Amino acid sequence: MGARARAAVERLLARADIKIGGGRAFDVTVHDERFFDRLLREGSLGAGESYMDGWWDCDALDQAIDRVFRAGVLDELPRDWPTIVTALRSRLFNLQRLKPREVGEKHYDIGNGLYEAMLDRRMIYSCGYWPSATTLAEAQEAKLDLICRKLMLKPGTQLLDIGSGWGGLMRFAADKYGVRATGVTVSREQAAWADAHKGALPVETRVMDYMELGGRFERIVSVGMFEHVGYKNYRRFFETVASLIEEDGIFLLHTISGNQSVTHPDPWFEKYIFPNSMLPSPRQIAEASEGLFVTEDVHNFGPDYDRTLMAWHRNIECAWTRLPQFDERFRRMWRYYLLTMAGTFRARSINLLQFVFSRRGLKNGYRAPR
């Protein structure tokens, strides 16, 4: 294709006012002419892999992605084989249940040092809450406190955290609100870090699949985990939570959400960042919870994730010299991950939603904190 492919890509990018070889921060510099054919042939996978390979650059990748999404450029790309294959795999197999621990092994277990360099001191790997915050640490603490207030936590409350990560939410809730907390994660590295930093707080982290859980809890929370559940398992997830929560309990679900219902992941993100993961839509969440829960509140603060991701990006860019175990291709992969996500949130193509559910409806109603 050669020249034709270049001309086609230039026309597509022109819709977003992005130029090849332009002088603005969001313009694209192409170092290898094979990029154009690869983009048209392989879609998002080709775009991401060619960036990792150093075939192209953009000084403000987050700005370029924002422009691409707002201009609808991706809608004009031809159907590519990686997307077709990914969609077929998702249709034919329940990959989230066949390989429930894969995302832990390939993403969260790559080394706590990377996450210590990128995240705040509490190791919170989810969207911060920025209305009054000026730093990442303040935004994450504000988010944790918001969750605790929405859950109406009190001293002695039994809290279950599904997808508890490095245990930051459990430690905060135990320290500030006096709860007793149990968390589950599929990452051994996360669990080890959480255990090493819990001190004397009444918190426990288990390495296990959420569907293996038993017992009853007054409050349940899940932050940044539902994206790994998969559309075939949304209903089973809510059924599991319903079986674990007390009749007068409260469940808070914090998840990235797409504006449209999908049944397969993005090929590049599925291969390199979050295996077997996909973003639920509000409709899919509503259908999965129907008849099991009453929706007490829905809160969208998606733009705050843009700011959170840019803070993570700044942190990790400053820390690369202290992370010699990661090569330049990994560095470009991680940069692409953070900046494309930031641009996608900025374009409002994806959002961050917090749902508050009760089993039968809270007797005196619910007044959601903000």
Q: Are 11 and 160 contained in the same domain?
A: no
Q: Are 110 and 252 contained in the same domain?
A: yes
Q: Are 248 and 350 contained in the same domain?
A: yes
Identify whether 42 is part of a domain. Answer: yes
Integer Cα distance of 242 and 85 in angstroms: 34
Identify whether 88 is part of a domain. Answer: no
Amino acid identity for residue 188 in this structure:
R
Cut 0.75: pTM above it: yes
> Into how many domains does the chain fold?
2
The crossing angle, in degrees rounded to 10, of helices 61-70 and 328-346 is 40
Residues of the chain with pLDDT under 50: none
Identify whether 366 is part of a domain. Answer: no
Q: Where a domain ends, among 43, 78, 113?
A: 78
HSE toward the beta carbon, residue 21, CA cutoff 13 A: 6
Residue-number span of the structural domain to which 275 is assigned: 101-358
Identify whether 9 is part of a domain. Answer: yes
Q: Are 18 and 115 contained in the same domain?
A: no
Q: Judge contact between 210 and 184, C-beta under 8 A.
A: yes
Identify whether 183 is part of a domain. Answer: yes
Q: Are 164 and 48 contained in the same domain?
A: no
Integer Cα distance of 349 and 305 in angstroms: 12
Q: The tokens of 119 are what?
A: 């995240």
pLDDT reported for residue 1: 61
Q: What is the DSSP string of 3-29?
A: HHHHHHHHHHHHTTT--BT-SSTTSBE
**Helix, strand, coil in percent for the chain, rounding step 5:** 50, 15, 35
Domain harbouring 113, CATH code: 3.40.50.150
Selection from 58, 38, 120, 49 nearest residue 343 by Cα: 58
Identify whether 89 is part of a domain. Answer: no
Alpha carbon of residue 60 to chain centroid: 21
Q: What is the pLDDT of residues 59-75, one digit of tens each?
A: 999 999 999 999 999 88
Q: Are 61 and 167 contained in the same domain?
A: no
Question: What beta strand segments (E) does the chain contain?
Answer: 29-30, 56-57, 158-162, 180-185, 203-207, 217-223, 245-258, 294-300, 350-358
Amino acid identity for residue 282 in this structure:
P
Alpha carbon of residue 126 to chain centroid: 7
Identify whether 365 is part of a domain. Answer: no
